[in-house]
Structure 1
Amino acid sequence: MNAAFQAGAAQVDITPPLGTLINGDFITHYARYIHDPLYTKALVLQQGDTTIVLVIVDICAMPKDFLDEVKARIQAETGILPANILISSTHTHAAGSVASLLLGAADLPYRQKLPGLIVESVKAALQNRRPAKIGFGAVDVPEHVVCRRFFMKEGYRALNPVTGGLDGVKTNPFGDEHQIDRRVVPVDPQVGFLAVKGLDNQWISVLANYSLHYVGDWENGTITADYFGVFSDEIGRLLGADSRFVGMMSNGTSGEANIWDFLDPDRYPREHFAKSELIGKDIARKVCDALQTVAWQENPALSARYAEVEAGVRKPSAEELEAAKKLVAETYYETIQQVDMDVLRRIYAREQVLLNEYPDTILFPVQALRIGTGQIGALGGEFFAETGLRLKENRASYFTITMANGYIGYIPPAHEIERGGYETWRCRTSFLELGAEEIIRNRLNELL
């Protein structure tokens, strides 16, 4: 085998048909309108006997058992080790569903179809390999990301539908903007990126990473890649790349960050897709400018490390479980169309009953990749910016891809769980033990 560094990229259309179930909301939606295509995008890096694969999929979330099967298929058809394969969701909330989240159901035909398409994208990227070079960089884009968790003014009642008590913070205070005191925490404003060119200076791929949850400026029932897709198209156009180029945007540590700016709600256009277009294109412009000064590496060393961390599961008490069962028994979930606090109580009651069936511990996927002088961390859930910023400390070329190799849900730091708020409400998408974030972060630090 030629020891020279090679890279290849490819994308495969995964746009679901109309009628496909969409998750990512409190209730199920159905695809009624396709605004732009969705893709699975693969980037293959090879140096001697070491091959690393990064796959970014336009989807909300993919659970670990699903991705373990996909990786096994990739290994069977290509020989690439699962530990060297990173597969993540962009976390667009307007895609086909392969996971049951709250009342958002999984679409079984789409779940059966998607693995083959992901494998196809990896095999196509392998076919497209050619001698290459890489570069890492970063640029700050603070204007498009804000903390969505707020301390509210004295006397405000932030109700918790799980405990029946009050939270110390409020997430996304729609209609209560006048009650906001201040944001809870700073967010991560940085866009990190890995750039890949052929030795002929033709572009192969740019993989970017931004800690912005998603934009969501579309009507429910829409299929769209959100700003992730806008960036990917625009960066290729700005670079003058040919049709072989694959632009990729991954999700960083954005568990408490979005761009629904409750303190300045009029700073973006309100038309459907206008905000995601503006944000995606602006990030692409800034990355394109930063690419002009990238230091290229023609012979980067590659390595990968993977571990599964055992973490405890938070479950309801016996009393909480009995109360939840009673509420579930009297609720007609199929009639729910609008979500208010009473409906949230019923949705989260169902979550307690289902969560109680979980094992007492789960295995959480953690991965570290070294690509030349740069590093990429991968975590299988939604982490807060605090986690990503701590992982970046003393690392010049590093970013964290979340929703990678699995999806466990929110993993906030312990002090944020104690404060409460939507991201911490105990359910199947927020259930790890109080100290799980620290345990997982420390393990990733060790791997890095």
Structure 2
Amino acid sequence: MAIKNQLYAGAAQVDITPSLGTRINGDFVTHFATHIHDPLYAKCLILKNDHEILAFVIVDICTMSQTFMDEVKVKINKQTHIPLRNILMACTHTHAAGAIEEVHLGALDMAYRRQLASQIPKSVTEALDKIQPAEFAWGHLHVPDHVLCRRYHMSDDYTPVNPVTDQEDQIKTNPFGLEKWIDRPVGVTDPEVYYMAVRNLDGEWISVLSNYSLHYVGDWENGTITADYFGVFAQAVKENLNAGEDFVAMMTNGTSGDINIWDFAGEKSYPAAHFKKSHLIGTDIARQVAENLVGRTSWKKSVALEMKNNSLSLGVRKPDQKALDMAKKIVKESDYENFVYSDAGLRKAYAREQVLLNDEPDERTAPLQVIRIGDLVIGALPGEFFAETGLNLKNENLSKGYFTICLANGNVGYVPPAHEIEMGGYETWRCRYSCLEENAEEKIFARMKNTIKEITAST
């Protein structure tokens, strides 16, 4: 008997591992790929019913701009006819991947950028080729063990300094070597792991897409190519479910702008060797997701698919003339060929940022997207947002399942709440990667809240 509005699903992944020698970003300077530990992928999950089609495209990379993503979406549209507005594209945010955008002093790799632009659409066309009748389920679980706030109040014996203003900050992000002066963490964490899963009507697994608000693990040497814990999770889920070769798992990055798992306060006992920590975290989350998923009995063969897209124009914080003149003076006196990570080095790096930021447009556009799959709602935000933002969005949607995928459809950089900007810390230091107006988070939250209300009202 035919099912009305039957769900169809297909998934695929394409190897996008860069060549040795490719530039890597995610640090203040460029690194070069000298060791490939594990492959990187562009992954796609397509969901389709009688009325709509959705494509989730998740890429093992640190950052992609809206300009780049829009170019790739046009390629996808031409090859598949999937509407541009129906594509969600996001970075995992591994910091050990090819560089296709300039970040701080780290340069982009044009050869890899061109290569990636042609590889990502293949994941979508291959997923579309594999589309088949399917059933859908989602769930969430509490995994607080692997998330810590990386912003700390320090004791009175240590004074954090803002390299942009040369003034005191109230907090310190990632206090390497300063552990003895830590007082307490600043913010909250989001301990939830969300997942959605599809399998065919014979019970064979097609895909699992998960979400966790953990920045990345970063337990590798500079020069390494690795998908970090995101890749470990994907492989471990496949093994735990005893899934077939065509199965594709993916972990998306939630609201983790102020969250990592670098244990400055000595609360954890993770292994210290390279890759051991990411393996432990990835396999632990995968095991818990698989156990939760195997016991799930509520599978739906017919689900509504809906999406809403809009955008916000937001002001850019720029240096005033006095700050700009000082920055130019510092730049003229600086040697950027031999950058050293220190207070003095940061002062030079951020002086350069002020000069370059001043030449940027006075506004940036933030693309916002909300997707509904049955009674699950997914928000997509184009940057690095704090756990507080994600938790507040979840609290607005207590009657539904909800999670946020960040670094999606673009990247406007860090978007801290206004009160966090006031306290300072790395994520708030004015630069091209953290420059939106102070109330940007509040405006984005309000727009997302209203859009979520609109999309859930149609259920």
TM range (shorter): over 0.9
Q: How many residues were matched structurally?
A: 446
Q: Which of 242, 246, 250 is matched with 1:240 structurally? A: 242
Cα distance in 2 for partners of 1:218, 1:427 equals: 27
Q: Which of 401, 407, 417 is matched with 1:403 structurally? A: 407
Is 1:445 aligned with 2:453? no
Q: Which of 357, 360, 364 is matched with 1:358 structurally? A: 360
Cα distance in 2 for partners of 1:445, 1:82 equals: 23
Is 1:105 aligned with 2:114? no
Cα distance in 1 for partners of 2:32, 2:220 equals: 14
| Offset at residue 335 of structure 1 (A) | 2.2
Contact persistence 2:5–2:303 (CA under 8 A): no
| Offset at residue 293 of structure 1 (A) | 3.6
* Equivalent AA in structure 2 for residue 414 of structure 1: A
With normalisation by structure 1, the TM-score equals: 0.98
Contact persistence 2:135–2:199 (CA under 8 A): yes
- Any idea what SS the aligned residue of 1:65 has? helix
Cα distance in 2 for partners of 1:66, 1:191 equals: 29
Cα distance in 2 for partners of 1:447, 1:113 equals: 35
Q: How does 1:318-397 map to 2 (within 5 A)?
A: 318-336=321-339, 338-393=340-395, 394-395=397-398, 396-397=400-401
Quick check: 210-219 or 192-201, which moved more? Answer: 192-201
Aligned residue in 2 for 1:424: 428
Cα distance in 2 for partners of 1:328, 1:47 equals: 56
* Equivalent AA in structure 2 for residue 226 of structure 1: D
* Equivalent AA in structure 2 for residue 443 of structure 1: R
Cα distance in 2 for partners of 1:98, 1:119 equals: 16
Cα distance in 2 for partners of 1:360, 1:405 equals: 21
- Any idea what SS the aligned residue of 1:150 has? strand
Cα distance in 2 for partners of 1:151, 1:343 equals: 23
Structure 1 gap segments, 5+ residues each: none
Q: Which of 292, 304, 326 is matched with 2:307 structurally? A: 304
Aligned residue in 2 for 1:65: 67
Cα distance in 1 for partners of 2:360, 2:33 equals: 30
Contact persistence 2:214–2:253 (CA under 8 A): yes
Is 1:85 aligned with 2:91? no
Aligned residue in 1 for 2:229: 227
- Any idea what SS the aligned residue of 1:94 has? coil
Aligned residue in 1 for 2:122: 120
CA 1:340 to 1:265, structure 2 compared with 1: closer, same or farther past 3 Å? farther
Identity %: 55
Aligned residue in 2 for 1:249: 251
* Equivalent AA in structure 2 for residue 340 of structure 1: S
Contact persistence 2:141–2:194 (CA under 8 A): yes
| Offset at residue 83 of structure 1 (A) | 1.0
Cα distance in 2 for partners of 1:409, 1:293 equals: 39
Aligned residue in 2 for 1:275: 277
| Offset at residue 155 of structure 1 (A) | 3.5
| Offset at residue 4 of structure 1 (A) | 2.2
| Offset at residue 265 of structure 1 (A) | 6.3
| Offset at residue 324 of structure 1 (A) | 0.6
- Any idea what SS the aligned residue of 1:25 has? coil
- Any idea what SS the aligned residue of 1:441 has? helix
Cα distance per residue 1:251-307 (max 9 Å; x no partner): 000000000011116611110000000000000011111113432111001011111
Cα distance per residue 1:335-378 (max 9 Å; x no partner): 22x31111100000000011101111111011000011111100
Q: How does 1:201-212 map to 2 (within 5 A)?
A: 201-212=203-214
Cα distance per residue 1:216-240 (max 9 Å; x no partner): 0000000000000000000010001
Aligned residue in 2 for 1:292: 294
- Any idea what SS the aligned residue of 1:342 has? helix
Cα distance in 2 for partners of 1:316, 1:129 equals: 51
Aligned residue in 2 for 1:134: 136
* Equivalent AA in structure 2 for residue 333 of structure 1: Y
Cα distance in 2 for partners of 1:174, 1:332 equals: 24
- Any idea what SS the aligned residue of 2:385 has? coil
Quick check: 389-398 or 52-61, which moved more? Answer: 389-398
Cα distance per residue 1:47-89 (max 9 Å; x no partner): 1131100011000000000001111111111111111100000
Contact persistence 2:5–2:302 (CA under 8 A): no
- Any idea what SS the aligned residue of 1:42 has? strand
Structure 2 gap segments, 5+ residues each: 453-459
Cα distance in 1 for partners of 2:175, 2:111 equals: 36
- Any idea what SS the aligned residue of 2:89 has? strand
Q: How does 1:140-155 map to 2 (within 5 A)?
A: 140-155=142-157
Cα distance in 2 for partners of 1:444, 1:139 equals: 24
| Offset at residue 190 of structure 1 (A) | 0.4
Aligned residue in 1 for 2:416: 412
Cα distance per residue 1:183-213 (max 9 Å; x no partner): 1011000001111111111000000000000
* Equivalent AA in structure 1 for residue 140 of structure 2: A
* Equivalent AA in structure 1 for residue 26 of structure 2: G
Cα distance in 2 for partners of 1:155, 1:180 equals: 10
- Any idea what SS the aligned residue of 1:423 has? helix
Cα distance in 1 for partners of 2:299, 2:114 equals: 40
